Amino acid sequence: MKQGFIGAFLFGVCMAASAQQTAWPSYIGDLPRAVSESTVAAELPAEVAALAQDAQWSGIWHGWACRVAGCDIKIAIRDLSATGATVTYAGASPLQTVVDEAPGRFENDELQVRLKTGAKLVLRLRKDGDMELGIWRPETQLLSMGVLSRRPPAYVRRVEWLDTPFMEDGKPVKLEMVIHRPEGDGPFPTLVMNHGSTGMGNRPEWFKLTWVSPEVSAFFVARGWQVIYPQRRGRGRSEGLYDEGFEADRSRYSCKAALSLPGAEHALADLQVAMSHIRQRSDVDARRIVIGGVSRGGILAATYAGLHPQEVVGAINFVGGWIGAGCPDAVKVNGELFKRAAAFPQPTLWLYGEDDPYYPIAHSRANFKAFQSAGGKGTFDVLLPPKGMDGHGTYTVQRLWGTAVDSYLGSLR
């Protein structure tokens, strides 16, 4: 495996490792069985691609890893013995496709494999029969993680393209939309889930990563819901310019209200195009549409619900805000958008994590108070992230918010 493939999706999580059993972060156990978002499929060599699954470990395993499930992974395990096995690893992303094979050894219920680059591939079986995957380099740095399975995928994945009224350089702009749903034709109750920003906005290569949440999808699809992820202009594979509140030189997102708020309007226009399409789909139960989002997507969802209350029955805001609390104009920008959200007449659900580097609880509580003072209805829940994760990532851990979301969905009329 080449270093570039791993490093491109660096998680930046550092943990201590023992000589025997790998000390994984606790939240790896919360990762769901899901579908890879890679546009390139991993392919195992023909001689191992059809292995029989005749033992607990052996056979073909397929799943995902990397940031936003961006890597497709296939693993073949054969020549099983009491001490180890032969492992063939295939990984694919739009950046690179790799295949590696090496002997693995069993250490305290883990199958550990030293890859040719020196990285360590670690595999663990779950009680439900699925497999957790971690890649480490050196021994203390977790580079990538994911979940593999020998069962069918947890949901059906589709990608569609939306026509828009937008024109750039004389050409019409199309938007990418990813759909995760149960088997069948529907109509399904539907969550429209909106992506956030990309950190400080100073990594243009991140703009091209299509954002989905396997964690959110697995939760909702298991309950019979469909999840739709519209990608706004210039994000993922959507066409057009990504223009959601940058400095004049586009070096990073702007902290200034005069630049940031027009960026929010730009995003709301994209969302309105997507919602107009979604509400007309035959696989969508138009009477049961909930809008949600993470970070910028969270405040965008709440604001859209306030502006178009007839289109949705609920709104779920995961760690939402438009600009971070460290910006001098954060109270003005976030407060103004959340006040517009207050026009939504039904209760909303706000989910925030402790130790969020962008939206501390005190700042977010103040936003919620401003929302309530403007007439908004809702519940504000504080989530405690697991060790090794900050509060902004709590949307990836179902057990932190699952009970609250189940209760909220059950209350919708």
Per-residue pLDDT of 388-399, as tens digits, reads 899 999 999 999
Question: Where does the pLDDT of residue 356 fall: very low under 50, low under 70, confident under 90, or very high at 90 and above?
Answer: very high
Q: What are phi and psi of 147, to 5 degrees?
A: -135, 135
Cβ-contact 395, 401 below 8 angstroms: yes
251 has pLDDT over 70 = yes
User: What's the mean pLDDT when you consider all of the chain?
Assistant: 91
376 has pLDDT over 80 = yes
What average pLDDT does range 202-230 have in this prediction?
95
Integer Cα distance of 52 and 363 in angstroms:
55
Integer Cα distance of 309 and 340 in angstroms:
11
Amino acid identity of residue 73, one-letter, is: I
Q: What does the pLDDT read at residue 14? A: 29
The label of the residue with tokens 């496709």 reads: 97
Q: What does the pLDDT read at residue 75? A: 96
Token pair recorded at residue 124: 């663990």
- Weakest-pLDDT range from 123-127, 141-145, 311-315: 141-145
Torsion of CA 203, 205, 209, 215, to 10 degrees: -40
Q: What does the pLDDT read at residue 21? A: 63
The closest alpha carbon to 75, from 182, 1, 155, 156, belongs to 1
Question: Where does the pLDDT of residue 117 fall: very low under 50, low under 70, confident under 90, or very high at 90 and above?
Answer: confident
Q: What does the pLDDT read at residue 22? A: 73
Question: Where does the pLDDT of residue 327 fall: very low under 50, low under 70, confident under 90, or very high at 90 and above?
Answer: very high
% of the chain exceeding 70 in pLDDT: 95
Integer Cα distance of 126 and 29 in angstroms:
8
User: Nearest-5° angle of CA 393, CA 395, CA 399?
Assistant: 115
Second-level CATH architecture of 3-149: Beta Barrel (2.40)
Token pair recorded at residue 281: 């789909």
Cβ-proximal residues to 403 (8 Å cutoff; 6+ apart), any chain: none
Cβ-proximal residues to 148 (8 Å cutoff; 6+ apart), any chain: 61, 62, 63, 73, 75, 123, 130, 131, 132, 133
Cβ-proximal residues to 242 (8 Å cutoff; 6+ apart), any chain: 207, 232, 233, 234, 235
84 has pLDDT over 50 = yes
Q: Give the global pTM.
A: 0.90
Domain boundaries, the chain: 3-149, 156-411
What average pLDDT does range 143-150 have in this prediction?
93
Integer Cα distance of 327 and 257 in angstroms:
10
Q: What are phi and psi of 245, to 5 degrees?
A: 100, 55
Second-level CATH architecture of 156-411: 3-Layer(aba) Sandwich (3.40)
Q: What does the pLDDT read at residue 50? A: 78
Question: Where does the pLDDT of residue 20 fall: very low under 50, low under 70, confident under 90, or very high at 90 and above?
Answer: low
375 has pLDDT over 90 = yes
The secondary structure element, H or E, covering residue 261 is helix 257-278
- Whole-angstrom Cα Rg for the chain: 22
Cis-peptide into 152, omega within 30 deg: no
8 has pLDDT over 50 = no
